[in-house]
Copies of this chain bind each other. A is one copy, B any other.
Amino acid sequence: MSDLISALEEIVGPGQLFTGEAIDDRYRADIMGRIHDRPLCVARPRSTAEVAALLRIAGEHGVPVTTQGGRTGAVDGSFAAEGGIVLSLERMNAIEEIDPVSMTITVGAGLPLQAVQEAAEEAGLFLPLDIGARGSATVGGVISTNAGGLRTIRWGLTRDMVLGLEAVLADAGYDWKHLMIGSEGTLGVVTRATLRLRPKPRSVMTALIAARDFDKVVTLLRDFEADLGGQLTSFEVMWRDFFVLVTEANRAKRAPPMTAEHDFYVLVEAMGGDAGSDMERFEATLGRAFDRGDAIDAVIAQSEQERANIWAVREDMAGPMMRLVPLFAFDVSVALRDMPRVAEEISRSVCDAHPGATMLVYGHAGDGNLHFVIGIGDGSREAEHKIDLIVYRAVERAGGSISAEHGIGLAKRDFLGFTRSAGEIALMRTLKRALDPGNILNPGKVIDMAGGALA
């Protein structure tokens, strides 16, 4: 084994390979603060050539390799098992080129998303991709999980922004873009990406709107989409319990932008090309929604401060959530029309089994994406598995997906059969075997090459 270690060290150079106690805890810590297994080593290559050399050596020794970006994934996809190699791309964080004519940016996979956003901004351009973990999540990470986030209605998921990739495969050459995106490091290591940028929006309109029932929420979405003719960027729906928890818990920090008496709250944001007339149009659309009774209360942000206050209702949830720990978080997708029924069904099943359970529901409605947070006062793996089954069975019955934007990783792997057919899973195995015959790339994540999935 020390042969392997010295061969790896030779590749990355002195000070870039860590073993045993010298491995910093951050390479093992997930967003919930749990510390995962200690890997054999952590290697920090700084070039594609080094990554290729590392993979070759790992393959010769049959030692598994897990690629790490910002470790902000939610499904335990970026942690290595004992004896595995962690390939941290944090040093591959160069901004290699910004092309203002073609509006593209080419960066190393280890660059944090926020750094790309800022570089685009500085060039007078705009990267629409935005997620809460923007400061730590890397470009390689958002590609690996095909992250979605807050502006998918208008600009799509990561997949829709990636124009080119350089990936190092265990076996073949490099790149097959769409197969790599979303494969969570199990088919190759993405080392560099070219992302599509957009003209910087000249106007931002943000509103918090209350609605009586989910049908009204759907009507609001469709009307804003049609009226604003392509300017709608975010449509975040929050069920009442979520709104109450977040606004109450943060009341000392900021006054809630609206009373908590309504059943549904929607955060609507649009971006356009003309600050004056865009706001007029946004207000007119909202006015018509009031006239028809689709909106029963609303606040439009009149300043950047008010905008931040409205967004805080949706985003400043880490503190409030901590009050519910232990809790289980879910990221699923179902058809828009099925959302209230599925949420209701899960809530009833959870409360039948655990009277007094808490369940908060919110999500990117425009994208069919729902998040649940469920607390039953028991954080054991057993309890989690039972709640997993309740949630994923309801999603399966509705023909939805057990993962909307967080990937499969390890946490959801055994539930893959709830959302993919046996034929699809067989196909995934075929592809994994073809591209990674030695099963050294993030083994055990996404798909279990050894055994079956629950069904």
Which residues of A are in contact with B by a Cβ distance under 8 Å? 99, 101-103, 154, 156, 159-160, 169, 171-176, 178-179, 181, 198-203, 218, 222, 225-231, 271-274, 277-278, 281, 335-337, 368, 421-428, 430-431, 433-435
- Which B residues are in CB contact (< 8 Å) with A336? 101-102
Q: A161 CB to closest chain B CB, in angstroms? A: 11
- Which B residues are in CB contact (< 8 Å) with A199? 222, 225-226
Complex Cα–Cα for A218 and B277 (A): 25
Assuming the contacts A222-B199, A278-B229, asked whether A174 and B421 have C-beta atoms less than 8 A apart, the reply is: yes
Question: Is there contact, CB below 8 Å, between B231 and A229?
Answer: yes
- Which B residues are in CB contact (< 8 Å) with A203? 229
Given contacts A172-B423, A199-B226, A228-B273, 11 further A-B contacts (CB under 8 A): A101-B336, A159-B178, A172-B426, A173-B424, A178-B178, A179-B179, A227-B273, A229-B230, A229-B271, A230-B231, A274-B281
Complex Cα–Cα for A424 and B103 (A): 25
- Which B residues are in CB contact (< 8 Å) with A200? 226
- Which B residues are in CB contact (< 8 Å) with A423? 169, 172-175
Question: Is there contact, CB below 8 Å, between A175 and B229?
Answer: no
Question: Is there contact, CB below 8 Å, between B428 and A431?
Answer: no
Complex Cα–Cα for A393 and B246 (A): 59
Complex Cα–Cα for A382 and B425 (A): 47
- Which B residues are in CB contact (< 8 Å) with A422? 173
- Which B residues are in CB contact (< 8 Å) with A271? 229-230
Question: Is there contact, CB below 8 Å, between A424 and B277?
Answer: no
- Can you report 30 A-B residue pairs in the complex whose CB atoms are below 8 A from each other? A99-B335, A101-B218, A101-B336, A102-B335, A102-B337, A102-B368, A154-B230, A156-B160, A159-B178, A173-B421, A173-B424, A173-B425, A173-B426, A174-B421, A174-B424, A175-B423, A176-B427, A176-B431, A198-B225, A201-B229, A202-B229, A226-B273, A227-B274, A229-B274, A230-B271, A230-B273, A273-B281, A427-B435, A430-B434, A431-B431
Complex Cα–Cα for A415 and B387 (A): 54
- Which B residues are in CB contact (< 8 Å) with A218? 101
Q: A219 CB to closest chain B CB, in angstroms? A: 10
- Which B residues are in CB contact (< 8 Å) with A425? 173
Q: A271 CB to closest chain B CB, in angstroms? A: 7
- Which B residues are in CB contact (< 8 Å) with A159? 178
Complex Cα–Cα for A362 and B66 (A): 46
Question: Is there contact, CB below 8 Å, between A175 and B424?
Answer: yes
- Which B residues are in CB contact (< 8 Å) with A176? 424, 427-428, 431
**Which residue on B lies nearest to A175, using beta carbons?**
B424
CB < 8 Å neighbour of A430 from B171, B174, B277:
B171
Assuming the contacts A202-B229, A277-B277, A337-B101, asked whether A169 and B272 have C-beta atoms less than 8 A apart, the reply is: no
Complex Cα–Cα for A435 and B435 (A): 12
Complex Cα–Cα for A335 and B101 (A): 8
Q: A194 CB to closest chain B CB, in angstroms? A: 11
Complex Cα–Cα for A434 and B426 (A): 12
Complex Cα–Cα for A225 and B271 (A): 13
- Which B residues are in CB contact (< 8 Å) with A421? 173-175
Complex Cα–Cα for A431 and B273 (A): 44
Question: Is there contact, CB below 8 Å, between A173 and B427?
Answer: yes
Q: A220 CB to closest chain B CB, in angstroms? A: 13
Q: A184 CB to closest chain B CB, in angstroms? A: 15
Complex Cα–Cα for A172 and B424 (A): 7
Question: Is there contact, CB below 8 Å, between B337 and A99?
Answer: yes
Complex Cα–Cα for A203 and B172 (A): 49
**Which residue on B lies nearest to A169, using beta carbons?**
B427
- Which B residues are in CB contact (< 8 Å) with A337? 99, 101-102
Q: A356 CB to closest chain B CB, in angstroms? A: 34
Question: Is there contact, CB below 8 Å, between A277 and B272?
Answer: no
